[in-house]
Amino acid sequence: MWFFKSPEIVFGEAALDYLDELPGRRAFIVTDPTLHALGFTERVAARLRKAGLETSCFAEVEPEPSLETVYRGAAAIREFAPDWIVGLGGGSAMDAAKAMWVLYERPDLRADEISPLVTLGLGAKARLIAIPTTSGTGSEATWAFVLTDTAEGRKLGLGSRETLPTLAIVDPALTMGLPSVITADTGLDVLAHAVEGYSGLWRNDFSDGLCLKAMEMVFEYLPRAVADGNDTEAREKMANAAAIAGLGFGNAMAALAHAMGHALGAVFHQPHGRCVGMYLPYTIEFVARRGDGRYADIAHALHLPGQGEGATPRTAAPCWMDEAEAATALVAAIRGLMRQIGAPVSAAGMGISLAEHEAALERLCDLAEADTQIVTSARIPDRDELAALFRYAYDGPTVDF
Amino acid sequence: MAHLFPSADWVAALETAINHSPAYASSAKTWEGDFHFVIEPGERIVEPVKIYLDLWHGQCRGAHLVDGSDGATPEFIISGPLSVYRRIFEKKLDPIQALMSRKLKLQGNMGKVMRAVKATLDLVNCAASVETVYEVEREA
C-alpha cells in the first residue's frame, strides 16, 4: 500500500491572478527578507487584499531555515489567526511555512515531532498555499520539508502527508530575471529529484512518468533559462518541471545524491541544488555498478546517444543500451549539462580545500548515514563505500566500485 | 537451521546476527534505545507475542521472548501482524514504508527512528539473515 498526493496546482501565465478571488478572511505570508525587499510580498498581498482578505507577513526566513525561525513565525501566525498561510519563495520559505502551519494548528507539538506517524488534523484553522519563486525544490508539490537544527548542526527531514500544500500557484513570472547561478543550482535540484525519484527504491507507477517528463524538460529548457533569465518559454517550462518533479519524487523519494548533498550542504553551507546535482553523476555510477538504477529506461526516454563526453539528449535516434552503457551515457549528459550551465562537477570545484574535506569526512558520513534518503537508494553504500564516494566526488574520478 | 518466527530460538539467532554484523555496529554506533516488537493476534498467533531487544551502541545487550509481562517499559513499541513482519524480513516490504503507511504501528519518538534509518535497515538485514520459517510443520 502506498499513496499519491498532489495539491491543486494552478500554473502558467498569470496564475497568480487566482488569488484575486480567493475566499477567506485573513492570509499570512511567510517569505524571506530579500523577496520582501524586492516587492514580492506586496505583489501577493495586493491580490489577497483585492479578494477582501486582511494580510500580514513574516519575512524573516533564512536559507536553510532553523527551528528557531519556524517557532518565531508560528507565534506571529497565532497572533494574527489567519485562515490561509502563504509560503512565498524558494524551498526555504515554503518549507518554513509548512512547519509553521503545523505549529499554528498543533501548538502541543515540537517541529521535530512532525512525522507521518502523527495524525495532525490540519485544516481546522487554516490551509496552505505554496507559491514558488524559484524552479527547483518542488516544495509546492510535496509534503516533506527540511529544517536545520542549529544546535546540532544538522538538517532534519520532516513532514507528514497532511503537510502537503492545499494549493500550489506556479506562475513563471515570479522566476523571471532570477540570477543565472540560482537558476542553475535550482535546476539541478529538479534533475536530481527526477532521476532519483525514478531510480530509487520507492519508485512507483504513479510517479515514474512524472519523473521522466521532468528530466526531459530540464535537459531542454535549463540551459536556455540559465543563458537568458527572461526567456519566457524556458522559465515557464522550468517552473512546471520543478513542480512535476516534486510530484514525482514527493510520491516516491529522493535517494543517495540527496543524502550526500544534505550532508555537504550542512557542513560547508553550499546551495542545496548545487550539492545534490554535483553528487548525482557519482551516485548513478555507484548504483549502476550493481545494475539497479533503471538507467536504460531513462537513456531511452531521453533519446541519449551512446557513450562520450558532451553527449546531448535528443541528438540521436532511440537506442537500447544495457544498464552500464546507459549510466555512462546519462552521466555524460548530466556532466555536459552542468558544464553548459557553469555548475561545479566536484567538491573541489566548489572551492572546498582537500584538507577541509578530509577533516569533515567522518561528519559527512555520519550525516549522510542519518539521512532518510540513503535507505531509498537502489544500492545502499556501507560506511567505507560512502567515505569512498565522498572522496571520489571531491575531485572527480569515475566511480569504479 | 531454520528457526520458527516468533520463538525464543529465533530471538537468540537474531541477537547473534546483530552482534556479528559490522554494518549494524557501524550504522547504529550512537543508537541507545530498547524495543518491544509485538506480533499481533491473527493467522496462527492467538495471543500477542512480544520480543524484547535492548540495542545499545551498535550491539544487542539483551534479547528475549517476553513470557507474560516482563515489567519492561521500552522506549519503543512496534506492533503489527505476522504477515507484515514476514514481508519485511523477506525484503518484500520496506520497513520505513511499513511505518509510514501504518502497517506497522510505532509508539515512541518517530523522529529518533527517522534519524537512524540506516541502522533500522541494517537491523532488518540482520533479521532477514536469520533462516526463518513462519509455519509450524504439520506432521503427516
Structure confidence by residue, pLDDT tens digits, A179-229: 999 999 999 999 999 999 999 999 999 999 999 999 999 999 999 999 999
Section A279-295 average pLDDT: 93
Q: Do residue A204 and residue A313 come from a single domain?
A: yes
Q: Do residue A352 and residue A266 come from a single domain?
A: yes
Quote the CA–CA distance of A24 and A22 in Å, as a whole number: 6
Give φ, ψ of A345 to 5 degrees: -105, 5
Q: How many domains does chain A have?
A: 2
Q: Of A20-29, A310-319, A333-342, which range is least confident?
A: A310-319
What CATH number does residue A13 fall under? Answer: 3.40.50.1970
pLDDT of residue A313: 59
Section A239-256 average pLDDT: 97
Q: Do residue A292 and residue A314 come from a single domain?
A: yes
Interface residue of A375, A376, A379, A382 to substitute, partner B, most B CBs within 10 Å: A375
Which of B13, B18, B89, B95 has its CA nearest to residue B58?
A: B18
| Cell 507484515 sits on residue | B84
Name the strands in the sheet holding B76-81, side by side, starting at the edge strand that comes first in the sequence: B59-65, B49-56, B32-40, B76-81, B105-107
Which of A189, A195, A178, A278 has its CA nearest to residue A235?
A: A178
Would the pLDDT of A311 be above 80?
A: no
Would the pLDDT of A230 be above 50?
A: yes
B45-56 tens-digit pLDDT: 999 999 999 999
Per-residue cell: A321: 543500451
Contact check, Cβ <8 Å, B118/A375: yes
Q: Do residue A170 and residue A45 come from a single domain?
A: yes
Final residue belonging to a domain, choices A118, A149, A175: A175
Give chain A positions within 8 Å (CB) of B102.
117
* Closest residue in B to A365 (Cα–Cα): B27
pLDDT of residue A135: 97
What CATH number does residue A242 fall under? Answer: 1.20.1090.10
Concatenated DSSP letters of A187-228: HHHHHHHHHHHHHSTT--HHHHHHHHHHHHHHHHHHHHHHH-
Q: Please report the residues numbered 117 through 136 in chain B whose beta carbons come closer than 8 angstroms to any beta carbon of chain A.
A: 117-118, 120-121
Give chain A positions within 8 Å (CB) of B118.
369-370, 374-375, 380
Contact check, Cβ <8 Å, A117/B106: yes
A152 touches chain B (CB under 8 A): no
What single letter denotes the amino acid at residue A71? Y
Q: With DSSP H G I counted as helix, E B as strand and the rest as coil, what are the percentages for chain A, rounded to 5?
A: 55, 10, 35
pLDDT of residue B113: 86
Section B3-17 average pLDDT: 96
Give chain B positions within 8 Å (CB) of A202.
94, 97
What single letter denotes the amino acid at residue B119? A
Q: Do residue A376 and residue A294 come from a single domain?
A: yes
pLDDT of residue A73: 98
Would the pLDDT of A74 be above 60?
A: yes
Final residue belonging to a domain, choices A156, A175, A194: A175
Would the pLDDT of A309 be above 70?
A: no
C-alpha distances in Å from residue A18, one per residue of A11, A44, A58 = 10, 11, 22
Would the pLDDT of A315 be above 80?
A: no
Strongest mean pLDDT among A175-179, B42-46, B106-110: A175-179
Would the pLDDT of A165 be above 50?
A: yes
pLDDT of residue A51: 98
Average pLDDT taken over every residue of chain A: 94
A400 is a domain residue: no
Interface residue of A146, A369, A377, A385 to substitute, partner B, most B CBs within 10 Å: A369
pLDDT of residue B137: 56
Q: Do residue A206 and residue A343 come from a single domain?
A: yes
Alpha-carbon gap: B139 to the closest alpha carbon of chain A (Å): 36
Percent of chain A with pLDDT over 90: 87
Query: Residue A243 in contact with residue A168, Cβ under 8 Å?
Result: yes
Final residue belonging to a domain, choices A129, A149, A175: A175
Contact check, Cβ <8 Å, A382/B111: no
A4-32 tens-digit pLDDT: 999 999 999 999 999 999 999 999 999 99
DSSP three-state, residue A34: helix
Burial of A7 per CB tally in 10 Å (0-12, 13-18, 19+): buried
Listed in sequence order, the residues at least 6 apart from B89 whose beta carbon sits closer than 8 Å to its beta carbon are B5, B124, B127, B128, B130, B132
* Closest residue in B to A116 (Cα–Cα): B100
pTM here? Answer: 0.91
Quote the CA–CA distance of A160 and A176 in Å, as a whole number: 32
Q: Do residue A273 and residue A381 come from a single domain?
A: yes
Quote the CA–CA distance of A251 and A171 in Å, as a whole number: 23
Would the pLDDT of B19 be above 80?
A: yes
pLDDT of residue B139: 46
Concatenated DSSP letters of A55-83: EEEE--PPSS-BHHHHHHHHHHHHHH--S
Q: At what angle do helices A232-250 and A205-227 cross, to 10 degrees?
A: 150
Query: Residue A70 in contact with residue A147, Cβ under 8 Å?
Result: yes
Q: Do residue A151 and residue A101 come from a single domain?
A: yes
Instruction: Print the domain residue range for A355.
Output: 180-395
* Closest residue in B to A156 (Cα–Cα): B115
Q: Do residue A300 and residue A160 come from a single domain?
A: no
Section A300-321 average pLDDT: 65
Q: Are strands A167-170 and A127-132 parallel, antiparallel or unpaired?
A: parallel
Q: Do residue A203 and residue A300 come from a single domain?
A: yes
Section B78-106 average pLDDT: 93
Beta bridge partners of A159: A144
Quote the CA–CA distance of A104 and A384 in Å, as a whole number: 43
Q: Give me the numbers of helices (H) and strands (E) for chain A, helices first please.
A: 13, 8
User: Chain A to chain B, count of Cβ pairs less than 8 Å apart?
Assistant: 53
B121-140 tens-digit pLDDT: 999 999 999 999 998 655 44
Contact check, Cβ <8 Å, A202/B118: no
A102-120 tens-digit pLDDT: 999 999 999 988 988 888 9
A361 touches chain B (CB under 8 A): no
A100 is a domain residue: yes
Q: Do residue A144 and residue A203 come from a single domain?
A: no
Per-residue confidence at A312, pLDDT binned at 50, 70, 90? Answer: low
Q: Which helix (H) or strand (E) holds A39?
A: none
Per-residue cell: A305: 546517444
A103 is a domain residue: yes
Q: Do residue A184 and residue A127 come from a single domain?
A: no
**Architecture of the CATH domain B3-133:** 2-Layer Sandwich (3.30)
Section A346-371 average pLDDT: 96
Q: Of A180-189, A230-239, A266-275, A317-326, which range is least confident?
A: A317-326
Give the ipTM: 0.81
A203 is a domain residue: yes
Burial of A16 per CB tally in 10 Å (0-12, 13-18, 19+): middle
pLDDT of residue B1: 84
* Closest residue in A to B102 (Cα–Cα): A117
- Output the CA angle A343-A233-A229, nearest 5 degrees: 45
